[in-house]
């Protein structure tokens, strides 16, 4: 995880990472302790395995946590509710994002996304100084999803993190619920026709996992209907200006159909930069 005490060049001392933003009783910040990382993993378990269709390993089921080999190398962004305490008497984690930078991936042996998409050519083509951020494992407790502030705080935290490390590119896998691509033909076709990455930089799903997204002609559906069919997270990404990779991937363990999100920070829509980047 990131060193939460960063040198302050102006003062020649160590400056602690602050709470990144607050809204009422909610605040967004990075996990500081192993217990807080475990609280994020417990939230992921509740959302992915108990509420949705993911299938836990026996170890995950026994511990009530979602975890993998990447967690120890990542930073974990948390939205906590200071007015709702968990069993340990700590503010409850109600939203989370997993963040992995270049140097984290080097220590972890690669990015999580590489298990689904051929990202090596994309990374190799970037200018040498490009700093990237993989976004993943995002979820919000069900009772907080109707509160716009929760997702806004998560994005606020991401953009503060992007600014702190001068990151240039965000990417990762985003999920649609369900493993039947025909049932998801409308949102997949919309993403394919309206938001696909340009050919010269396009990232493809791994050949053995590739699922065609072009399932409906462009003129056969209404854009507003397709937008309504998108999960809120992906809808937010595309409205902010992201592009989508070529091909979807069925994730049987999580019961989802995944798409690749490609998001140069410089391409973010101005209103989203203004909305979420002020703390930066």
Percent pLDDT > 90 in the chain is 78
Q: How confident is the model at residue 83 (pLDDT cuts 50, 70, 90)?
A: very high
Asked if residue 280 has pLDDT above 50, the reply is no
Q: Do the strands 256-264 and 243-244 form a parallel or antiparallel pair, or are they unpaired?
A: antiparallel
Q: How confident is the model at residue 2 (pLDDT cuts 50, 70, 90)?
A: low
Where are the domains positioned within the chain? Answer: 1-110+136-167, 111-130+172-280
CA 120 to each of CA 16, 126, 207, 213, 255: distance values in angstroms, whole numbers, following the listed order: 35, 10, 14, 22, 26
Domain 1-110+136-167: CATH class, spelled out: alpha beta
Three-class HEC string of the chain: CCCCEEEECCCCEEEECCCCEEECCEEEEECCCHHHHHHHHHHHHHHHHHHCCCCCCHHHHHHCCCCCCCHHHCEEEEEEEEEEECCCCCEEEEEEEEEEEHHHHHHHCCCHHHHCECCHHHHHHCCCCCCEEEEEEEEECHHHCCCHHHHHHHHHHHHHHHHHCCCCEEEEEEEEECCCCCCCHHHHHHHHHHHECCHHHCCEECCCCEECCCCCCHHHCCHHHHHHHCCHHHHHHHHHCCEECECEEEECCCCEEEEEEEEEHHHCCHHHHHHHCCCC
Asked if residue 18 has pLDDT above 90, the reply is no
pLDDT of residue 20: 85
Asked if residue 137 has pLDDT above 80, the reply is yes
Asked if residue 249 has pLDDT above 70, the reply is yes
pLDDT of residue 14: 39
**What is the average per-residue pLDDT within 189-214?**
96
**What is the average per-residue pLDDT within 37-60?**
95
Q: Which residues of 224-258 are buried (b: 16+ CB within 10 A; e: fewer)?
A: eebbebbeebbebbbebbbbbbbbbbbbeebbbbb
Asked if residue 13 has pLDDT above 50, the reply is no
Residue 196: count of CB within 10 angstroms of its CB: 16
Please tell me the pTM assigned to this model.
Answer: 0.90
Asked if residue 178 has pLDDT above 90, the reply is yes
**What is the average per-residue pLDDT within 76-99?**
92
pLDDT of residue 159: 92
CA 18 to each of CA 21, 92, 207: distance values in angstroms, whole numbers, following the listed order: 9, 18, 43
Q: How confident is the model at residue 1 (pLDDT cuts 50, 70, 90)?
A: low
> In this predicted model, which residue has the larger pLDDT, 223 or 10?
223
């Amino acid at each position: 995880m990131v060193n939460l005490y960063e040198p302050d060049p102006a003062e020649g001392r160590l400056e602690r990472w602050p709470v990144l933003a607050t809204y009422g009783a909610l605040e967004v910040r990075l996990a500081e302790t192993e217990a807080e990382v475990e609280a994020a993993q417990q939230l992921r378990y509740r959302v992915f395995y108990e509420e949705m269709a993911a299938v836990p390993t026996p170890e995950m089921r026994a511990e009530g946590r979602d975890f993998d080999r990447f967690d120890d190398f990542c930073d974990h962004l948390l939205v906590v509710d200071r007015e709702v305490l968990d069993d340990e008497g700590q503010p409850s984690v109600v939203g989370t994002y997993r963040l992995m930078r270049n140097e984290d991936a080097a220590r972890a042996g690669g990015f999580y996304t590489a298990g689904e998409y051929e990202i090596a050519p994309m990374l190799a083509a970037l200018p040498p100084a490009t700093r990237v951020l993989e976004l993943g494992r995002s979820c919000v407790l069900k009772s907080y999803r109707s509160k716009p502030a929760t997702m806004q705080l998560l994005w606020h935290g991401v953009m503060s993190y992007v600014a702190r490390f001068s990151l240039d590119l965000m990417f990762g896998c985003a999920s649609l619920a369900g493993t039947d691509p025909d049932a998801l033909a409308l949102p997949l076709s919309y993403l394919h026709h309206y938001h696909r990455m340009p050919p010269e930089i396009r990232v493809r799903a791994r050949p053995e996992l590739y699922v065609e997204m072009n399932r409906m002609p462009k003129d056969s559906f209404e854009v507003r209907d397709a937008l309504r069919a998108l999960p809120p997270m992906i809808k937010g990404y595309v409205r902010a200006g992201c592009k989508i990779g070529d091909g979807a991937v069925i994730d049987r363990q999580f019961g989802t159909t995944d798409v690749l999100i490609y998001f140069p920070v410089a391409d973010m829509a101005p209103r989203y930069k203004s909305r979420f980047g002020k703390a930066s």
